[in-house]
Amino acid sequence: MAKSVKLKDLLPQSTFVQISGDENSLEREVFVADTNRPGFELAGFFKHSDFRRIILLGEKENAFIDEMTREAQLACFSKLVNDETPCIIVCKGYKCADILRNIAIKRNFPIFETNMPTGRVSIDLQSKLDEKLAPETLIHGVFLNIYGKGVIIRGDSGIGKSEIALELVKRGHQLIADDAVELYHVGQHIVGKAPAVLNNLLEIRGIGVIDVSKMFGIGSCLAKDNVDLIIQLDRWLPSREYTRIGVEEDDVTEEILNVPIPKIVVPVTGGRSMSVIIESALMNMQLKADGFDSSKEFVNRIMKNIKMKGE
């Protein structure tokens, strides 16, 4: 079933003044994260119109409407005001055309007026709709902000994800979600947050559920963040080959909602400080982004040493 958002949950009354339609008209749903400035429609061309988009009337549209005949306005507005169109917003302090308003009142169709510039209304609406209508999924893991990067820690149940998260929070990093992470495809990014019932909570076996914000301060938690890295914790197996130098294999990624996310597989065994290892992985990732690759530097040193001994 397609996601939607109701007008009453999208348009604040402090910014948008409703001039037609009653309370029931605000139950209309928006299914498309886009807006429409109807230049072609005002000129009478409706062949490829998508009526599911919110219509914005700005300076140019209102100037064109002023030049239209009464008959042209009746014909055009009768098509724009329909059951599919969520609403019409008249921007930049302009007043709604009388013919358009009369048609809307008869059909109980919502029209709003605002003093905001048309471009700003378009940007704000698309940003809200992108978030509210974004494709979503739920995964098992712990999500933290470490050195400014959103990191999901995954692994088998009982491997110690929550304990590692607790240690990282004690070291100054921020918890976003424990156990379950809600993920949304917003724009070019994957955004993660905790289900409402799990906000700020961390489950530690043997202790129970703790409220991280109460125990370590409100700054120890973050509401949401972009996902920048996945760290997969695997139980160490002597027979398996693990990355040692860092040039053994191509970069590994995992797709979430069709977006590739960098991924690192870290073996878990006794005696390893996983929080320090995870911090080091993030710092190394940042160094690579800044153009310094420790693995390649090591290989270059070996090659130079071999060359020097051969001379």
User: Does residue 43 lie in a domain region?
Assistant: yes
Instruction: Decide if 197 contacts 161 (C-beta within 8 A).
Output: no
Where is the domain boundary, 64, 98, 132? Answer: 132
Give the CA radius of gyration of the chain.
27
Same domain, 73 and 148: no
Give residues with Cβ within 8 angstroms of 158, minimum separation 6: 205
User: Does residue 20 lie in a domain region?
Assistant: yes
Which one from 92, 149, 161, 173 is the annotated catalytic residue? 161
Same domain, 109 and 144: no
CATH of the domain at 52: 3.40.1390.20
Helix (H) or strand (E) holding 164: helix 161-170
Instruction: Decide if 194 contacts 181 (C-beta within 8 A).
Output: yes
CA distance 153 to 141: 6
Buried/exposed 281-303: b ≥16 CB within 10 Å, e otherwise: bbebbeebeeeeeeeeeeeeeee
Same domain, 192 and 268: yes
User: Does residue 210 lie in a domain region?
Assistant: yes
Range of the domain at 76: 5-132
CATH of the domain at 271: 3.40.50.300
Q: Please report how many Cα atoms fall inside a 13 Å half-sphere around the Cα of residue 92, on the Cβ side.
A: 13
User: Does residue 306 lie in a domain region?
Assistant: no
Q: Which residues are annotated as a binding site for ATP?
A: 155-162
Same domain, 16 and 115: yes
Instruction: Decide if 169 contacts 220 (C-beta within 8 A).
Output: yes
Same domain, 174 and 231: yes
pLDDT at 299: 56
DSSP notation for 76-136: HHHHHSSSS---EEE-TTPPPPHHHHHHHHHTT--EEE-SS-HHHHHHHHHHHHHHHT--E
pLDDT at 96: 97
CA distance 283 to 71: 67
* Rounded to 5°, angle at Cα 208 from 204 and 210: 80
DSSP letter (8 states) at residue 238? T
Output phi, psi for 269, to 5 deg.
-150, 165
Q: Give the residue from 8, 2, 4 showing the smallest Cα distance to 25.
A: 8
User: Does residue 244 lie in a domain region?
Assistant: yes
Q: What is the mean pLDDT of each run of 10 residues along the chain (311 residues)?
A: 88 93 95 93 93 96 96 96 96 96 97 96 93 92 96 91 94 95 92 94 90 94 96 80 54 90 86 85 84 65 66 59
User: How many structural domains compose the chain?
Assistant: 2
DSSP letter (8 states) at residue 249? S
Same domain, 53 and 121: yes
Which one from 179, 193, 225, 228 is the annotated catalytic residue? 179
Same domain, 62 and 169: no
Where is the domain boundary, 81, 106, 132? Answer: 132
Same domain, 264 and 170: yes
CA distance 130 to 258: 16
Which one from 60, 95, 106, 140 is the annotated catalytic residue? 140
Answer yes or no: 251 catalytic.
no
User: Does residue 211 lie in a domain region?
Assistant: yes
Where is the domain boundary, 116, 132, 148? Answer: 132
Buried/exposed 93-110: b ≥16 CB within 10 Å, e otherwise: ebebbebbbebbeeeebb
Q: Which residues are annotated as a binding site for Mg(2+)?
A: 162, 203
DSSP notation for 115-129: SS-HHHHHHHHHHHH
Report the SS3 class of residue 29. Answer: strand
Given the structure tokens 């509210």, which residue do they identify?
A: 132
Answer yes or no: 228 catalytic.
no
User: Does residue 307 lie in a domain region?
Assistant: no
Model pTM score? 0.72
Give Cα separations from 146 to 161, 225, 228, 230, 271 (angstroms): 15, 11, 10, 12, 22
Report the SS3 class of residue 243. Answer: coil
Answer yes or no: 161 catalytic.
yes
User: Does residue 308 lie in a domain region?
Assistant: no
